[in-house]
A and B are shown apart, each in its own frame.
Chain A
Amino acid sequence: MSKKLLLKHDHEPGIQTYEVYRKHGGYASVEKALKTMTPEAVVEEVKKSGLRGRGGAGFPTGMKWSFLAKPEGVPRYLVCNADESEPGTFKDRYLMSRIPHYLIEGMITSSFALGANTSYIYVRGEYYYVIAILEKAIKEAYAAGWLGKNILGTGFDHDMYVQPGGGAYICGEETALLESLEGKRGNPRIKPPFPAVKGLWGCPTVVNNVETIAAVVPIVNDGGEAYAAIGIGKSTGTKLISASGHINKPGVYEIELGLPVEEFINSDEYCGGVWKGRKLKAVVAGGSSVPVLPADLIMKTAAGEPRLMSYESLADGGFASGTMLGSGGFIVMDETASVVKNLWTFARFYHHESCGQCSPCREGTGWMEKVLHKIVHGHGEMKDIDLLWDLQRKIEGNTICPLGDAAAWPVASAIRHFRSEFEEMINSHAVEHA
């Protein structure tokens, strides 16, 4: 059994309630931080821990926190990004619905570190039942004195609100989320200024993923160094992985970063192997946006090293032969799956979710979807593969927010590693129609 932090008590009966959560050591980090530490000391521990953003980008959290502007007389905000909408990712839903107090505890401790007296949890609208769970838990936390005025008699005030999203993937992009939270159309803002300087209502704001904020709890409890001792290299701590697709045991697993991919797929502790005794074909390792890798490249790097579940190892080889840890949405495809059909599904998603603000993404995502539709439905031509390649290349890096990249990478990687599958699909239909 590997080290568990976030999901240590997820199977305790009644862990959703305040009493049971408290019995298992809940809210100790708030007590420790508020009573024995300064906000700066908490930030220092987070820096020491090497914690990196768990939403997908993997940016060092301590550094993000230290960028927060602190002008006199201006409120600061902590916003939790719970707009989990990346296809293949469902870890935050599990954490929030199983142990809602874990997030709330992390929010209070983090807010103390940032000097934020108000925080928001922006939850994906489709997670309506999770919103109910969170609201109940917040009520319990208020009743127990962990929220409100003068918490633990330390003079620290904090209020927390849950805001349901309107059902847009784009609102998981931090500035679009802030726009939406302000009651506006969820379009990403043009950066700079970054939220750390001008965020919610023009005030300095930190936006963190659910899992990132939750990870602050063990960091404060056990110290940043203890957290940094878990994991491998710059990939410290544990990570929640949402495993789905053609495996025997889909679900949410907490892994110690650095676990070999092969073990993760085949071990009975995790995925339990590819289902029905079939062969592994491909894996999308970090949610739909990251490049898809064929079986040999996901098990071993191009240099022949075993591939590990860590930010560095998965990215080894760049996009030529590597991918990204992303949000931890681990999608497994067996030998019967069609990478091209799967890509079409992803392309439909990005077309549907593009906000339409900037031209390459607005027009390009729809265009790529139409070309893929054409190929999948038997009308593809060889030139369409080159067209797709060219379109993704012209979207990538030329958009306001990363949605354009997210739409381009799956297309690029599918063509890079599975070009023959496109050709076969086009050829077989060409024969049929001859």
Chain B
Amino acid sequence: MLKVTIDGQTIEVPEGTTILQAARMLGPEVAPPAMCYYSTLETSGGYCRTCIVKVTKGSEKDPRPMPKPVASCRTMVMDGMEVQNKTSPELLEARKGVVEFLLANHPLDCPVCDQAGECHLQDLSFEHGAESTRYEFERRTFEKIDIGPNVQLHMTRCILCYRCVKVADQLTPGRSHGVLNRGDASEISTYIEKSIDNEFSGNVIDVCPVGALTDKTFRFKNRVWFTKPMDAHRECDKCSGKVALWFKGADVLRVTGRKDAFGEVEEFICNTCRFEKKDAADWKIEGPRVIDHKSVISSNHYLANNQVPDFAFREVADYKAIEDKPVQPVPAQNQLNN
């Protein structure tokens, strides 16, 4: 086991653990934000630079500090390593710079974006960004592209995290999805708009940290914070069938994977479950889902008295419209406190 200290908190982790993973073990308050790293996607991470940390002591053996900030998602823990995240003002300033770069060409169309409320860029800019932009030039825009019948790519919002490219590479055979062009003209493409025709292609929506890849069956149906998440499952021959259903009244507006405190799905789900089972009768409801991820909306940054709203934590009894369904009032286990 290797000992690592992050912002003054020490933890022992097995060899091969990254600084980010170690920080996540300590809890979401300690963990640096990550926009491109996704633990279940190989070779993900390293691109967005939001998870940078300052290594003030390399290891017990070689205590020299690292000269530059490192991407915590791709840097392995060494025994005796000491890391600064939120305790280093310089580091926070550098991260603020990264956030500013990510937002430089972002359209900030949150009022009409389906991702708002569960958008990691929104949360990131709220926590680590500046109040206003210094970018005064025309922003980069792209035409919207359909990726198959159910997914829409809105490249203008993309931050090029490459997660969807990794999904296409690792989850779906016969990749026809990648990045075209270079520099700030780079764009996610399915190579001349060829759709990814695959049973697991819908997962690109779940991994997208922003509103660049959205579920066409849900587009403009509702704001996510007005819908109620319930854990549910069904017998599925393609995937585990374990999903989160998002209700408005008695209607299932959308189906997603179950996301943890870091916004990562527990299991990838198939397109049949995601797009075709929109009837509550298709599912066995387990109970209301606790949303661990603290978003701008759920942390209620918008309320003056700082009260935490309970839209995601309501009693099962509130879901009057689904009373006739066999609801088992077992709260989903909190990922972190178990």
Contact = CB atoms under 8 A, between A and B. Distances in A.
Interface of A: 168, 170, 185, 190, 351-360, 362-367, 370, 387, 390-391, 393-395, 397-400
Nearest to B140: A366
Contacts of A168: 182
Interface in B179-193: 179, 181-186
B52 A362 contact: no
A383 B13 CA distance: 47
Contacts of B45: 190
B151 interface: no
A349 B181 CA distance: 16
A359 B49 contact: yes
Contact of B98 (A355, A360, A366, A393): A360
A190 B44 CA distance: 10
Contacts of A362: 101, 160, 183-184, 186
B98 A354 contact: no
B94 A363 contact: no
A357 B47 CA distance: 6
A184 B45 CA distance: 18
B20 to A, nearest CB: 13
* Consensus secondary structure, chain A interface: helix
A398 B183 contact: no
B100 A358 contact: no
B182 A363 contact: no
Nearest to A351: B183
B277 to A, nearest CB: 37
B2 interface: no
B209 to A, nearest CB: 12
Given A398-B49, A398-B94, A399-B49, A185 B179 contact: yes
B75 to A, nearest CB: 9
B68 interface: yes
A359 B137 contact: no
Given A185-B178, A355-B183, A365-B183, A360 B97 contact: yes
B178 A398 contact: no
A358 B49 contact: yes
Nearest to A387: B134
A375 B49 CA distance: 29
B179 A398 contact: no
Contacts of A190: 45-46, 71, 74
Interface string B37-75: 000000001111110100000000000000111010010
B265 to A, nearest CB: 24
B39 to A, nearest CB: 16
A197 B159 CA distance: 31
Given A354-B183, A354-B184, A356-B181, A363 B49 contact: no
Contacts of B104: 363, 367
Contact of A359 (B47, B69, B134, B135): B47
6 contacts: A168-B182, A357-B47, A362-B160, A365-B183, A394-B100, A395-B97
B183 A358 contact: no
Contacts of B98: 359-360, 394, 398
Residue with the highest number of chain B CB atoms closer than 10 Å, among A351, A360, A400: A360
B261 interface: no
A394 B178 contact: no
Given A353-B183, A355-B183, A356-B186, A400 B69 contact: no
Contacts of A370: 137
A185 B162 CA distance: 13
B105 interface: yes
Contacts of B52: 398
Given A364-B101, A367-B101, A367-B104, 7 more contacts: A190-B74, A355-B186, A358-B48, A360-B49, A390-B97, A394-B94, A398-B69
B183 A356 contact: yes
A353 B183 CA distance: 7
B250 to A, nearest CB: 42
Contacts of B160: 356-357, 359, 362
Contact of A360 (B67, B101, B178): B101
B102 interface: yes
Contacts of A351: 183-184
Given A356-B186, A357-B47, A400-B47, A363 B101 contact: yes
A358 B51 CA distance: 12
Contacts of B47: 357-359, 400
Given A358-B47, A358-B49, A398 B97 contact: yes
Nearest to A354: B183
Contacts of B67: 397
A41 B67 CA distance: 34
A16 B161 CA distance: 48
Contacts of A390: 97
A359 B103 CA distance: 10
A358 B182 CA distance: 11
A355 B179 CA distance: 11
Contacts of B178: 185
Contact of A363 (B71, B74, B102): B102
Contacts of B97: 360, 390-391, 393-395, 398
Contacts of A394: 94, 97-98, 100-101
Contacts of B134: 387
B318 to A, nearest CB: 41
A398 B74 contact: no
Interface in B7-37: none
A356 B183 CA distance: 4
B253 to A, nearest CB: 32
Which 5 A-B residue pairings sit nearest by Cβ, starting from the closest? A394-B97, A356-B186, A363-B101, A354-B183, A190-B46
A390 B101 CA distance: 12
A354 B101 contact: no
Contacts of B68: 397-398
Contacts of A352: 182-183
B81 to A, nearest CB: 15
A208 to B, nearest CB: 24
B120 to A, nearest CB: 14
B283 to A, nearest CB: 39
A316 B137 CA distance: 38
A365 B183 CA distance: 9
Nearest to B183: A354
Nearest to B48: A359
A137 to B, nearest CB: 32
Contact of B185 (A185, A356, A364): A356
A371 to B, nearest CB: 8
A415 B131 CA distance: 27
Contacts of A185: 178-179
A220 to B, nearest CB: 34
Nearest to B101: A363
Interface string B97-137: 11011101100000000000000000000000000001101
